[in-house]
Amino acid sequence: MKKIQSIAEVHDGFDNKAFTPLELAQEYLGRIHASQLNAFLTVSEEKAIFQAKKATAELMKWGRVPREAQPLFGIPFGLKDNLVTQGLRTTCGSRILENYVPPYSATVVERVEKAGAVILGKLNMDEFAMGSSNENSAFGPVQHPTHPGYVPGGSSGGSASAVAAGLCVAALGSDTGGSIRLPASFCGVTGVKPTYGRVSRYGLVAFASSLDQIGPLTNSVRDSATVLDVISGADPMDSTSIQGVSEKYVAGLSAPMDWSKVRIGIPKEYFVSGVQAEVAASMQDAIKWFEKQGAQCVSVTLPHTSYAVSVYYVVAVSEASSNLARFDGVRFGVRPEGLSSSQGDLLSFYKQVRTRFGDEVKRRILLGTFALSSGYSDQYYQKACQVRRLIQQDFTAAFEKVDFILGPVAPTTAFKLGEKSQDPLQMYLNDIFTIPANLAGLPALSVPCGKDSAGLPIGLHLAGRLYSDSELIRIADAFERRA
């Protein structure tokens, strides 16, 4: 079977009886078992076959795909392993949750299953989503889908690599500082971080609660829109999910674009030395294309961009040190062998359990605990939150002049495995262009826009105003279909 590129292609195949949902699931499970990418941590073969048989029976009964009621009907689907799945192991890429089988499912998991998705399994990731290269997974790094020896980006590296390699048709990831957009860019797929609160975080293992957002990784913007239609919307189980507002992402794609009303901001701070020449050239090509359509591309300034990484690495680690305090080995998680509830004291029990965290997680817990500690919290946490407001205000001012902000997803294309893993600061700086959207809560996405001379994909980053997800999807869809 050739590589399927879209949800529509799957549904047409079902309607034309080219294959059944069961045959398709079996094909994808076969590919996963044969793959050397290390993209999947757990393959839910039994569940997938059960769901695919059910879909096959329904298709027989109805004669055609119920696209309206089940937009993801029979779609081979992958879930980042920080989304809890009832009865299906959820490791978060960590030894501390190596054996964790959750008693409930995340809201997004329930929604994609209700929409007909066939869950193939759980996708590899940096431990607790802390990383930009997927090298921090306790279960080994994920390989780049087309360039062996290169990283797929992180932390949703398994999701991006699996979609790009045709191991699933669509996947969910999570984005705290670029964890959907960076791997999407490195692997040449589409990745969307919705406005904060668009998608319920209930059942997402928390990293940094004021930044985390779940979103899709797919082969096209349209497929991302389909997944967003399914997963977006208020959820009583997440008090930060936005109430009331409901958007129709796919329906919005059919309206023609009025380019004369589109204003795109090019921040001068995003086009600086350190950006790979081919990445910068690719951005210029994109700008020219938008101008040719009739959009206005104007220079804007986001003066506090250079502080974004600093703000992020105080705010995110502070929230993480607090969120990860719950991993105490009592209610869930692995206890080191020989550790007993009857011996020793509780404090040494906690310390023993928490030795199972990997180095990057320990580093961030230490940094976060320090930034929140007495005597230092004013200098670090409070100051970072004050500068966070300046970064948000930069965007507010820019969005008075323009509708979208355009730039590269990352300064470079994918780098080699091991190239930056010994230098945490260099790794952190990789997220300079994606982090600001999380700090300000804005919707932002990565859409493929070319390749460098080595054939590695380049991603175009587009961000919009709060709640402008629908418009952002429309402009990205138009750009993607430019050829």
Binding positions for other proteins, 232-271, rule CB under 8 A: 236, 239-240, 242-243
Interface with other proteins includes 424 (CB under 8 A)?
yes
Give the nearer residue to other proteins in terms of CB position, either 60 or 347: 347
Minimum CB distance to other proteins, residue 126 (Å): 17
Minimum CB distance to other proteins, residue 428 (Å): 7
Q: How many residues bind other proteins (CB under 8 A)?
A: 74
Kind and range of the H or E element at 91?
none
Instruction: Spell out where 74-142 has E strands.
Output: 76-80, 118-123
Contact 107, 235 (CB under 8 A): yes
Q: Which x/- pattern, by CB under 8 A, does the window 76-115 give for other proteins?
A: ------------------------xxxxx-----------
405 alpha carbon, distance to own chain's centre: 19
List the beta bridge partners of residue 150. 416
Kind and range of the H or E element at 445?
strand 444-451
Q: Which residues inside 197-216 make contact with other proteins, applying CB under 8 A?
A: 197, 210-211
The catalytic residues are 80, 155, 179
- Per CB under 8 A, the list member of 115, 163, 204, 384 interacting with other proteins is 384
Q: Which residues inside 266-305 make contact with other proteins, applying CB under 8 A?
A: 304
Q: Which x/- pattern, by CB under 8 A, does the window 113-152 give for other proteins?
A: ----------------------------------------
Q: Which residues inside 337-376 make contact with other proteins, applying CB under 8 A?
A: 340-352, 354-355, 357, 362-363, 365-367, 369-370, 373
Query: Per-residue DSSP letters for 267-289?
Result: EGGGS-TTS-HHHHHHHHHHHHH
Using DSSP bridges, classify how beta strands 76-80 and 457-464 pair: parallel, antiparallel or unpaired. unpaired
Q: Quickly count: other Cβ atoms within 10 Å of residue 296's Cβ.
A: 16
- Selected range binding other proteins among 154-162, 166-174, 247-255, 320-328, rule: CB under 8 A: 320-328
User: Can you tell me which residue has the tokens 């009592």?
Assistant: 330
Kind and range of the H or E element at 217?
strand 213-218
- Per CB under 8 A, the list member of 128, 139, 186, 196 interacting with other proteins is 196
Give the nearer residue to other proteins in terms of CB position, either 240 or 412: 240
- Per CB under 8 A, the list member of 77, 415, 428, 479 interacting with other proteins is 428
Give alpha helix (H) positions in 324-358: 346-353
Interface with other proteins includes 178 (CB under 8 A)?
no
Give the nearer residue to other proteins in terms of CB position, either 123 or 466: 466
Interface with other proteins includes 314 (CB under 8 A)?
yes
Residue 319 DSSP label:
H
Could you tell me the end-to-end alpha-carbon distance of the chain, in angstroms, rounded to an integer? 26
Please give the single-letter amino acid code of residue 185: S
Virtual CA dihedral for 435, 437, 438, 443, nearest 10 degrees? -140
